[in-house]
Structure 1
Amino acid sequence: MQTIIFLGSNKSGSSRDAIRAASDMGYFTVLLTDRRKWIKQREEFPDVHQMVLMDRLLDKEKIFRQLSKINNQGKQIKAFVSFIDPFVSLAAEISKELGLQEVSVAALFKMEDKTRFRDELQNNPVTPHFSICLLDKDENELFTEHVKKLPAILKSPVSNGSKDVIKVNSKEEFTEAVHHFRNQLGQDPLLIEEFISGPQYLIEVLVHNSNTTIVAIIEQEISSMNRFIITGYHMPARLSKHARETLNESIGQVMKDIGLSHGTCHLEMRWTEGEWKLIEINPRISGSAINQMILESTGISLVKETLKLHLGEKPDLTPSKVEYVSAEFITVETQGRLVKVTGKNKAKKIDGVKMVYVKPRKGSVLTPPLSMGDRYAYVLASSSDPLKAKEIAKRAAGEIKFYIEPL
């Protein structure tokens, strides 16, 4: 029985899309997970043919014990992959040790930590000014030594989804942020970067045998500039010829410098004063609705083509269509317990709406957004006209209402 094993997954989004894709491709799917409640919700995972509960997904020894059991069940492991942090490079390393298709393990490892990829790309022109420091000095010393210009961005090296990313506009805000990070990081380093202005784009990249393909360029709409919560995505992004040409050059050089010759990643970049600056890079497709957006816009299932890359097959990244697609995400303004959600069916009936997703269940505690995980619903809409796609997504999102009981 030909089997693909997934190390971790979210309940929805690109990582779950990958499991569904593997099942649709005819593979037996095994999910190694540390989410205990999913065992009780087992009927909600029909695409997961076998679910294995583990207490630690970063423990290689325990993973290999599970793999031995799976082999003894007569299952032939064809790929061992992960689509979520912080397991991507570990899955690639295990895949190599199993004698499966090799991907660029070292490059994926560098991308999993912001200090590692900043160091690796420090001489690349896309890299903004940055500094890495330990929080073993007082705030005045840290500010004088590491902040060249305000505003500045403070980040945890292993944050994802805009978690633990704070913009500071003054010395007082810097001091508050350092106190926050002392509690979060302990002895771990803090990353301080210059703030880059300009429109921001998500770029999805697949590299097959050193051939780099930009699969998608998606414009991002940021609603909170202090926490960088992205509530709108628009694809394909409309760029000038010059911006697109320089983006291709920049991405090619980044892949070369970081050593990604076989694998996937996504980058967040800003177009500022006629040049590209790298904000983030991560060793996987972006999560949430991004795979579905790319599919609706181009006909390409990026998670499926990523699986083919891990299976030693040649990915097919030829678009079968061109549609404008917008995704609108919904957050809440107050904290409380969810009583009910209305408007989902009404939103679905709007012409052009492709998907409506609501994440929390009744009784969940909702909070104003501090990270991308605090986005509680989204609408996906498409049209042959970019402004129409955006208008449909916003109108449909406006139909969805969260009723919250204060705590």
Structure 2
Amino acid sequence: MAQRVLILIEGSTKGSGLLYIQAAQRLGLHPITLATDPARYEYLWAEGLESIQVDTDDLEALIHVCSRLRSTYNIAGITGFPNPGESVFVTVGKLCGHFGLPGPNPASIEQCCDKFNQRQLLAAAGVPIPAYRLAANAGDIKRATAEMGLPVIMKPAAGCGSSGVRLCRTVDEVAEHTRHLLGGTHIWRSSPRILVEEFAQGRHYTAQIMGNEVIGITTSDFGPPPHFVYRQFTFPAPLAAEEHDRIVEVALSSVRALSLGWGPTNIELRWTKGGPVVIEVNPRLAGTPDPQLVQLAYGVDLVTEHIKLVIGDERSSRKLHAHTAAARILVPDRDGTVDWTDGPDRAAAIPGVAEVKLYVMPKTPIVRKGDDRDWIGYVIASSPSLAQTEAILQNAVGLIGWSITPFPTIHE
């Protein structure tokens, strides 16, 4: 009998890729990664995992590779990762349809990946969202800002990881970010399309969804504005029952409005003075550390449950326990070169610490981008209570240190 294979389109540099590899292996599957540049994903060569280089933007090339693999293997399922954008899940849906495998509806994913189309569909369905305008040039941005008033959020209409997202509180900040987005610094995969949005102020939450079921809700904290770089995630979010129910109601309304409901979705919201407002719907499983937090808190392995869906097996989201898990993101405070790092092993030895990860080592250059690429590591902890988890996390983070020497100043 041919070996059962899970095809993974692209990978993840933050940890989710290896989680999928390990979950697939536990399910008796042989994972094979198809990537434009497999060398991007260190875990592939570090673990001696099979990968094939192919242009993952080329659907026909992917079909050709998968057809060739089918002559040797039994392809049980296909899924992927949002590198460099969530449009990879459109490709995944088309591949699944071509080979008669379970998968997402590519048309639903495609309309969701365009944040402007997503806003239109949510608004038409009565889902609460911030006021917004679509802009293609500096004149559009200036008009949109004048109509809505400051402050505003400016972001690309397609993308992930908070790349190109900024809070603009003054006319000068709007002009500065306009130059960044349109002046050649930001990399566009198509013609520039920018969302100018009302700044919805309030606590940030993420609904973790599988199919049409909200598994739980995470709350997140960010570093200082104007960027939105995550600093901490806590699961489950401490919410009153009526707040929890209201977020679930809005989240599931979003899923219906966008014709999703197959597989994982994560929905970002802000709790404003008027209640929950949807910031973004992502038609995929949230990346690290969210899957780890859900598993530590509830005993629900979202990665494994997603793979079960992908290969047509029955899944279960039964909660095994009720703990609190939290992750602290390690972010540098300056650009420069890493001199030394210290403490991860001591931090990992603390009871209640589940995982410590540092992405950098001595001689690593640090150039902050104001998005998720600024992460240099994380610490994850869990315990039966929120207060205890916070104390464990604080203790562990306090043991980790690093030194960064600023880049030399160039004198003319």
Equivalent in the alignment of 2:410: none
**Paired residue for 1:132, among 121, 131, 134?**
134
Q: Which one-letter code corresponds to 1:231 in the other structure? A: R
Equivalent in the alignment of 1:111: 112
Equivalent in the alignment of 1:77: 75
Cα distance, 1:172 vs. partner? 1.6
CA distance in structure 1 between the aligned counterparts of 2:143 and 2:200, rounded to whole angstroms: 24
Q: Which one-letter code corresponds to 2:246 in the other structure? A: T
Q: Which one-letter code corresponds to 1:108 in the other structure? A: I
Cα distance, 1:43 vs. partner? 4.2
- Alpha-carbon contact 2:155-2:196 (below 8 Å) kept: yes
Cα distance, 1:351 vs. partner? 2.0
Q: Which one-letter code corresponds to 1:226 in the other structure? A: P
Structure 2 residue runs without a partner (length 5+): 408-412
- Alpha-carbon contact 1:13-1:291 (below 8 Å) kept: no
Equivalent in the alignment of 1:31: 33
**Paired residue for 2:199, among 195, 202, 205?**
195
Change (3 A) 1:229 1:205: same
Equivalent in the alignment of 2:266: 266
Q: Report sequence identity in percent.
A: 21
Taking structure 1 as the reference length, the TM-score comes to: 0.92
- Alpha-carbon contact 1:332-1:367 (below 8 Å) kept: no
> How does 1:63-102 map onto structure 2 within 5 Å?
63-72=62-71, 74-84=72-82, 85-86=85-86, 87-102=88-103
Change (3 A) 1:384 1:374: same
Cα distance, 1:369 vs. partner? 5.3
CA distance in structure 2 between the aligned counterparts of 1:176 and 1:316, rounded to whole angstroms: 48
CA distance in structure 1 between the aligned counterparts of 2:209 and 2:42, rounded to whole angstroms: 36
CA distance in structure 2 between the aligned counterparts of 1:309 and 1:383, rounded to whole angstroms: 30
CA distance in structure 2 between the aligned counterparts of 1:397 and 1:97, rounded to whole angstroms: 47
> How does 1:24-63 map onto structure 2 within 5 Å?
24-37=26-39, 42-46=44-48, 48=49, 50-54=50-54, 56-63=55-62
Cα distance, 1:30 vs. partner? 0.6
Equivalent in the alignment of 2:321: 321
CA distance in structure 1 between the aligned counterparts of 2:196 and 2:56, rounded to whole angstroms: 30
Q: Which one-letter code corresponds to 1:219 in the other structure? A: T
Cα distance, 1:142 vs. partner? 5.0
Q: Which one-letter code corresponds to 1:63 in the other structure? A: L
Q: Secondary structure at the match of 1:80?
A: strand
- Alpha-carbon contact 1:329-1:397 (below 8 Å) kept: no
Cα distance, 1:116 vs. partner? 2.1
- Alpha-carbon contact 2:154-2:167 (below 8 Å) kept: yes
CA distance in structure 1 between the aligned counterparts of 2:92 and 2:306, rounded to whole angstroms: 14
Cα distance, 1:404 vs. partner? 2.0
Cα distance, 1:346 vs. partner? 1.3
Taking structure 2 as the reference length, the TM-score comes to: 0.91
CA distance in structure 2 between the aligned counterparts of 1:379 and 1:357, rounded to whole angstroms: 6
Equivalent in the alignment of 2:335: 335
Change (3 A) 1:104 1:139: closer
- Alpha-carbon contact 1:332-1:369 (below 8 Å) kept: no
Cα distance, 1:138 vs. partner? 7.2
Q: Secondary structure at the match of 1:215?
A: strand
**92-101 vs 354-363, which deviates more?**
354-363
- Alpha-carbon contact 1:135-1:187 (below 8 Å) kept: no
> How does 1:136-215 map onto structure 2 within 5 Å?
137=139, 140-144=142-146, 147-183=147-183, 184=186, 185=188, 187-207=191-211, 212-215=212-215
- Alpha-carbon contact 1:159-1:165 (below 8 Å) kept: no
CA distance in structure 1 between the aligned counterparts of 2:4 and 2:309, rounded to whole angstroms: 16
Equivalent in the alignment of 1:224: 224
Change (3 A) 1:341 1:22: same
Q: Secondary structure at the match of 2:161?
A: coil
- Alpha-carbon contact 1:229-1:369 (below 8 Å) kept: no
CA distance in structure 2 between the aligned counterparts of 1:321 and 1:39, rounded to whole angstroms: 33
- 1:280-331 alpha-carbon deviations (Å, 9 max, x no partner): 1111111121111111111111011011111222220011111111101111
Number of equivalent positions = 397
- Alpha-carbon contact 1:331-1:368 (below 8 Å) kept: no
Q: Which one-letter code corresponds to 1:405 in the other structure? A: T
**232-241 vs 360-369, which deviates more?**
360-369
Equivalent in the alignment of 1:245: 245
- Alpha-carbon contact 1:333-1:367 (below 8 Å) kept: no
Q: Which one-letter code corresponds to 1:57 in the other structure? A: T
- 1:183-215 alpha-carbon deviations (Å, 9 max, x no partner): 2358421101100111101111111xxxx1111
- 1:204-233 alpha-carbon deviations (Å, 9 max, x no partner): 1111xxxx1111211101122311111101
Change (3 A) 1:399 1:264: same
Change (3 A) 1:157 1:40: closer
Structure 1 residue runs without a partner (length 5+): none
Q: Secondary structure at the match of 1:154?
A: strand
- 1:126-182 alpha-carbon deviations (Å, 9 max, x no partner): 2111111210637644533xx412111000112311110011111121111111111
CA distance in structure 1 between the aligned counterparts of 2:157 and 2:141, rounded to whole angstroms: 19
**Paired residue for 1:13, among 12, 15, 21?**
15
Q: Secondary structure at the match of 1:193?
A: strand
CA distance in structure 1 between the aligned counterparts of 2:38 and 2:30, rounded to whole angstroms: 22
Change (3 A) 1:30 1:246: same
- 1:14-60 alpha-carbon deviations (Å, 9 max, x no partner): 233112101110011110122353599754124x3x21122x21111
Change (3 A) 1:377 1:102: closer
**105-114 vs 158-167, which deviates more?**
105-114
CA distance in structure 2 between the aligned counterparts of 1:107 and 1:121, rounded to whole angstroms: 13
Q: Secondary structure at the match of 2:8?
A: strand
Change (3 A) 1:252 1:28: same
Cα distance, 1:366 vs. partner? 1.4
Change (3 A) 1:66 1:115: same
CA distance in structure 2 between the aligned counterparts of 1:129 and 1:139, rounded to whole angstroms: 14
Change (3 A) 1:40 1:177: closer
